Chains A and B, each alone.
Chain A
């Protein structure tokens, strides 16, 4: 796995490291899925965002396609239907895998780099570690400590950690978000303009 970006754009080294770590994580057995399932979910998510890709029928694949390509169409009834079949925790793992894959692919498109080939899955059993502190609440999946975007994947601790790992290098850490005059390559206001416009196109009200 390379994540060698085109020489024309000087991508910070922490981003390359972050993506390599995510690819390793994607290939390894997760909490509820083995490496082969995780890579299959990522494959379906990427294909769903590729024009002309043939539709595939399988429960996990359909869920991965929906989260990847049609997130604004997701409703409580659909989540109930999927989680009745596969369970809340595997669904949360799927959401984590797909959302990070989409993020990494979007970064590549944005800087003009070809998409990184998906990794070869590693063998092994998922850990099946249950987060016992998670409770049902105002959101559609159980979370630790109530419904909050920072806790959205907390039912599967490894997925919540992976989400937080991405959040800082790509945007801001949760602590940095309090700094309204933060400046890196963009000013904070410019970052928020990009964030809000991205969310508008994705029709994400939250």
Chain B
């Protein structure tokens, strides 16, 4: 999460898009990014197998179209894979990265997910 939350910030900066990254860990926060809210609701519905999955899928389709929906499904799938690989192999986060990201981690309350591996 740390790596891709930073890529999110960098991408929003480079493309001059509005962003409130706290939405990553707090779904009550509006991410401000175009189609951000339906995308977050969709991720939550897929991972929690929520009953409103079909509604969130339709909202994503309306917001970003069919190719956007397929991209969102692909990204969810890829990170379902990569998260398991990182956790199961004990992928460490370097000391330099930890030092550099102290404020960012505090803003998003990321350290609650830290354990001996990461």
A positions within 8 Å CB-CB of B: 9-12, 15, 67-68, 71-72, 74-76, 79, 92, 95-96, 98-100, 102-104, 106-107, 109-112, 138-141, 143, 147, 149, 152-153, 163, 166-167, 169-171, 177, 180-181, 184-206
Known: A104-B77, A107-B76, A204-B113. A92 touches B89 (CB 8 A): yes
B positions within 8 Å CB-CB of A: 1-5, 7-8, 10-12, 14-15, 17, 19, 21, 23-25, 31, 33-36, 39-40, 42-44, 46-49, 53-54, 57, 64-93, 110, 113-118
Q: Which of B24, B87, B118 makes the CB contact (< 8 A) with A193?
A: B24
Q: Is the CB of A204 within 8 A of B87?
A: yes
Of A79, A111, A169, A204, chain B has the most CB atoms within 10 Å of the CB of A204
Known: A67-B84, A187-B15. A197 touches B65 (CB 8 A): no
Known: A112-B54, A193-B24. A203 touches B71 (CB 8 A): no
Q: Which of A102, A143, A204 makes the CB contact (< 8 A) with B86?
A: A204
The 22 sampled A-B contact pairs (Cβ below 8 Å) are: A71-B87, A75-B115, A96-B85, A99-B81, A106-B76, A139-B90, A139-B117, A149-B86, A163-B81, A170-B74, A171-B74, A177-B7, A185-B66, A185-B67, A188-B11, A189-B11, A197-B23, A198-B80, A202-B47, A202-B87, A204-B86, A206-B1
CB distance from A147 to the nearest CB of B (A): 6
